[in-house]
Amino acid sequence: MTSSIRNITARYPKEVELRDGTPATFQTFEDDDREDMLEFTRGLDEDVLLFLREDITSPATVDAWLAEVTTGDTFTIIARVEGHIVGYCSLHTEPARWTRPARWTRHIGEIRINVDSNYRGTGMGGLLAAEIRQIAPALGVTKLSAQMTVDQEGARVVFERLGFRYQATLEGWVIDRDGNARDLVIMSCDL
Ligand SMILES: CC(C)(COP(=O)(O)OP(=O)(O)OC[C@H]1O[C@@H](n2cnc3c(N)ncnc32)[C@H](O)[C@@H]1OP(=O)(O)O)[C@@H](O)C(=O)NCCC(=O)NCCS
């Protein structure tokens, strides 16, 4: 773990409050959270699972994710309410950027976010995304990107509120779990 990540992790756990006053805790995603994360991802609605970039309901994918957290290529905050994971937000950077720092997109970090459907519209997504936006500069990121299908309206709202702007639509760029092609929207924000 690099010193910049160590400094950031010292901020957590962090207590936050949802719009209705519900207390939540932000924590860094760690090996001990593996089973709780699988419980969370396996409880996601079918419509969310349809659009997952990777199958995060699979233990192998969660293990690979934790491995990226260990190398520092990915930084993930999990949100817990009454002990249960109800959402997460990740910042994904170039793989192995610590050892191969010359990549031309090394300044870009991609945000990925998911909130339990029971907690949508509570401000949780906005709080999580703002948290990641705030720590991104300390991880060497100067531009944030977010990718979503055109159907993911809640994501567009959250990212626009944080200052993200529309960049491009890539037609038929992703296929959902049912094998149907979807257009991918890319948004970005300079820090
Ligand atoms: C995107 C996501 C994290 C937002 O979480 P959230 O907790 O609902 O976020 P917030 O409550 O902070 O704000 C969401 C806002 O979008 C609005 N919204 C949601 N769906 C909308 C729609 N179809 N049209 C217009 N606005 C919409 C909500 O009303 C809310 O606005 P409000 O604050 O005025 O009530 C959540 O919807 C989610 O997990 N979606 C599935 C995964 C996903 O799309 N990820 C993005 C790819 S990286």
**DSSP secondary structure string, 91-108?**
EE--TTTTT-TT-TTTTE
Tokens of 183: 């257009």
pLDDT digits (tens, 9 = 90+) for 133-148: 999 999 989 999 999 9
pLDDT digits (tens, 9 = 90+) for 20-31: 999 999 999 999
Determine if ligand 1 sits within 6 Å of the CB of residue 50: no
Determine if ligand 1 sits within 6 Å of the CB of residue 109: no
Determine if ligand 1 sits within 6 Å of the CB of residue 120: yes
Instruction: Map out the domains of the chain as residue ranges.
Output: 3-145
pLDDT digits (tens, 9 = 90+) for 102-128: 677 888 999 999 999 999 999 999 999
Mean pLDDT of 169-174: 94
Q: pTM score, two decimals?
A: 0.94
Residue 18 has pLDDT above 90, yes or no: yes
User: Ligand 1 mean position to 99 CA, how many Å?
Assistant: 36
- Give the helix ranges, DSSP H, for 79-179: 124-135, 153-161
pLDDT computed for residue 97 by the predictor: 56
User: Ligand 1 mean position to 119 CA, how many Å?
Assistant: 10
pLDDT computed for residue 2 by the predictor: 63
> At the topology level of CATH, where does 3-145 sit?
Aminopeptidase (3.40.630)
Tokens 């300079």 locate to 190
Determine if ligand 1 sits within 6 Å of the CB of residue 155: yes
pLDDT digits (tens, 9 = 90+) for 37-89: 999 999 998 878 877 888 999 999 999 999 999 988 999 999 999 999 999 99
Determine if ligand 1 sits within 6 Å of the CB of residue 5: no
E runs forming strands in the chain: 14-17, 23-28, 74-81, 84-92, 108-115, 143-149, 165-175, 181-190
